[in-house]
Structure 1
Amino acid sequence: MEIAAERLELDARSAETTATTLRVALETLLGSTHPKGDWVAVDTLESLANTAVPPDQTTPAEPRPDLLAAEAGLKRAEADLQMQRALRIPDPTIQWMYEHEPPDQPNTVGLGFSFPLPLWNRNQGGIRSAEVSRAQVRLALAKVKSQIASEIESARLSYQDSANRWRRYREEIRPRSEEVREAVSFAYEKGGAALLDLLTAERNDNEVRLATARAAAETAVAAATFKAALNLPDEGTNVK
């Protein structure tokens, strides 16, 4: 029993060190210049896992940044194509010159016109290049839309699986494990169970508790991933 208690104490210290390391990493990500990791999140793991996520939503609530960027790229490509088409007709350059000579010489006046050569080019090379660029951007936009749909569906399935697993642990497995532990503990107090039976029941119950917490953590992560895929606003995490 003492060995088991010492092992659990070591596991608890290791978990606390890991938690502090993650808090420091979060502070660094948020731009803190002196991260210490000494804050405590007000939100519990259960509240994060219970975050409201529309399980049947398949389209983003608002246009995602990656989609907006791809659409902006298409607009730029189309604008460039229009400009290249406008350059099919060469722009003439008109020159006007006046030169004042000394009193004994006549003044000089000049008028000139210039065109880019060859006149029959009609900027076909620039137009073709712009058309190819637009086609590539359209392909990239279609790829982004397909990727968004794939990410949403994958995140939805992952969230549903994690939420169902956590629900089973919370509503079925965890209560049964606690009942078994209490029954064995009562039997041990009355002399009806051996010490080994009690230790086994407590160890199994601890493992179920840990598995329940892990399932809740996986559900919280899956919910956050699903909300990010749907571009839903995040309420944020309160700290103290």
Structure 2
Amino acid sequence: MPRSFPIFLLLSVLNLILTGCAEFQRRELKPNESATQLQRRSLASPELLNFIQSATPEKSSNASQTWNLDRLTLAAIFYHPDLAVARAQAQWAAAGIKTAGQRPNPFITISPTLVRNLATAAVPWIAASSIGIPIETAGKRDYRIEKASQLAGAARLRIADTAWLVRGRLRAALLEAFAAEQTVRFADQQLAVQQAINQRLEQQLAVGEIGPLEISRSHLALNQAKLNADAAQKRVAESKVTLATAIGIPVDGLANAVFDFNDFAVNPALQDVPVGVLKTQALHTRPDMLAALADYEASQAALQLEIANQYPNLQANPGYSWEMGEHRWTLGSTLPLPLFHQNQGPIAEAEAKRIEMAARFEALQMKIIGDIDRAHAGVAALMDKWRDSENQVQTQKRNSMAMQAQYQAGETDRVALLSTELEQILAERARLDVRVETQQALNGLEDTLRQPLHSVLTSTSIAELAAMEPKP
């Protein structure tokens, strides 16, 4: 045998091992560039509008359209970082399937030996090598793949659940923006009426019809009305920031956007929502329920894997050696002896983990039942509250009409008429509070049912769109 043979064999093996290896490519995170890109996000982005157009091809999606809850939901799916994180986690879990399916690599042992005290003129090398071929037993690879597949499925389902959480926060933020704008309108009306009352009382004070105490009370009421108007303006500014955050854009990205609050301007017919049917459906189809079920199935596969690990893997070790012109072939195998343990510890851990996953699943079921029951329980009370507030507004309208008639007949003064108008504004403001509370109840029902109650979008379309990989 030539002396270069062992070196040649070693180089050949190394070349075989290194062929096809992946190479690391560094990707730097540049905070300044990332912050700049985030600051450029806007509802007027052409990429966003194209995404909305592709998601709702039956409707025109130009920039002049108003932004209702459905269109803002699509914007949040496109932009929100929580969904980007959920998608990345799903990709990582999916890569785990490839890892689980990998078969163990064989390995080679090369042991060239130099003999220095040969008594003959033979070549002073003994060339020996062997190959180790691992052989998995008891279906371990299948159990690993099953576990990884279940975890990947759970991660995909959590994308849809994240989308629902994003939509819930978005709906609450949009409702707050609506309430803030309406509050500004009522606060401005109240301020205007209070200023008119104050002006009239100043005139009466000047001619001696009233005393300083009455005008002092009017000044206090006017100051309070100004404070309320300022607070309402502050609420509008804060609601815009909250809305932008719920979408996943800076507040400047809302510039020139026109919002559609028509869904909030009417009282939803919550009594017509088939909560019982939707509750049963939610307990079977909510994405977080399905994800928890997939986690449980993954724990079952993990337990099966640990039970299979009781049975040792085999390792075939065929070998070859060349010594003094003789070719020697060997057959060998390695089998671990389970003398000290039969994998009882990992089996016990996997069994305990399965029990934990079952308990988590049942706890989630109970939480969903409680959340739906809690949201449903308030519906009837809200309907009664809405009727009471509506009756109050109608009663106040009749009082205002009666006071107007008395004023025109000269039976009362302008201050009394303005005071009645002020009471009318306060009654409408109270009705607004009830309307907002009712919309919050609707939001709570949607959140717990994971079902859009008054929307063009469906649970399926939201899940499918959320799983896409938009390019902001």
Task: Give the alignment's TM-score, normalised by structure 2.
Answer: 0.45
Per-residue CA deviation, residues 24-51 of structure 1 (Å, 9 max, x unaligned), is: 321232123433455332233323x326
- CA distance in structure 1 between the partners assigned to 2:407 and 2:441 by the alignment: 41
Which residues in structure 2 correspond to 1:2-21 (within 5 Å)?
A: 2=198, 8=225, 11-12=228-229, 14-21=231-238
- SS in structure 2 at match of 1:100: strand
Aligned position for 1:40: 258
Aligned position for 2:318: 96
Which residue of 286, 292, 296 maps to 1:74? Answer: 296
Which residue of 269, 287, 290 maps to 1:65? Answer: 287
Residues 27 and 218 of structure 1, relative CA distance in 2, 3 Å threshold: same
Which residue of 129, 138, 143 maps to 2:358? Answer: 138
Structure 1 range deviating more: 58-67 or 85-94: 58-67
Deviation at 1:9, TM superposition (A): 6.0
The number of aligned residues is 233
- CA distance in structure 2 between the partners assigned to 1:220 and 1:179 by the alignment: 27
1:121 aligns with 2:341: yes
Aligned position for 1:30: 247
1:107 aligns with 2:324: no
Structure 1 range deviating more: 192-201 or 67-76: 192-201
- CA distance in structure 1 between the partners assigned to 2:285 and 2:357 by the alignment: 18
Per-residue CA deviation, residues 81-136 of structure 1 (Å, 9 max, x unaligned), is: 11111122222222111112242xx3333332222233463322221111110001
Does structure 2 conserve the Cα–Cα contact (< 8 Å) formed by 1:70 and 1:140? yes
Per-residue CA deviation, residues 177-233 of structure 1 (Å, 9 max, x unaligned), is: 111122123223323234553343223222111000111111111111112211112
Residues 41 and 159 of structure 1, relative CA distance in 2, 3 Å threshold: farther
Q: What root-mean-square deviation, in Å, do the aligned CA atoms of Structure 1 and Structure 2 show?
A: 2.7
**Which structure is larger by alpha-carbon Rg, 1 or 2?**
2
- SS in structure 2 at match of 1:32: coil
Structure 2: gaps spanning 5 or more residues: 1-196, 199-218, 458-472
Which residues in structure 2 correspond to 1:152-163 (within 5 Å)?
A: 152-163=372-383
- CA distance in structure 1 between the partners assigned to 2:224 and 2:400 by the alignment: 20
Does structure 1 conserve the Cα–Cα contact (< 8 Å) formed by 2:393 and 2:431? yes
- The one-letter code of the counterpart of 1:147 is K
- The one-letter code of the counterpart of 1:235 is S
- SS in structure 1 at match of 2:399: helix
Which residue of 375, 390, 393 maps to 1:174? Answer: 393
Aligned position for 1:207: 426
Residues 236 and 11 of structure 1, relative CA distance in 2, 3 Å threshold: farther
Task: Give the alignment's TM-score, normalised by structure 1.
Answer: 0.83
- CA distance in structure 2 between the partners assigned to 1:60 and 1:231 by the alignment: 10
Structure 1 range deviating more: 206-215 or 156-165: 156-165
Structure 1 range deviating more: 52-61 or 140-149: 52-61
Which residue of 357, 367, 377 maps to 1:147? Answer: 367
- CA distance in structure 1 between the partners assigned to 2:360 and 2:337 by the alignment: 36
Aligned position for 1:85: 307
Aligned position for 2:437: 218
Deviation at 1:16, TM superposition (A): 3.9
Higher relative contact order (CA 8 A, sep 6+): 1
- SS in structure 1 at match of 2:311: coil
- The one-letter code of the counterpart of 2:245 is T
Residues 108 and 51 of structure 1, relative CA distance in 2, 3 Å threshold: farther
- CA distance in structure 1 between the partners assigned to 2:295 and 2:423 by the alignment: 57
Does structure 2 conserve the Cα–Cα contact (< 8 Å) formed by 1:151 and 1:229? yes
Residues 13 and 36 of structure 1, relative CA distance in 2, 3 Å threshold: farther
Residues 8 and 220 of structure 1, relative CA distance in 2, 3 Å threshold: same
- CA distance in structure 1 between the partners assigned to 2:438 and 2:451 by the alignment: 17
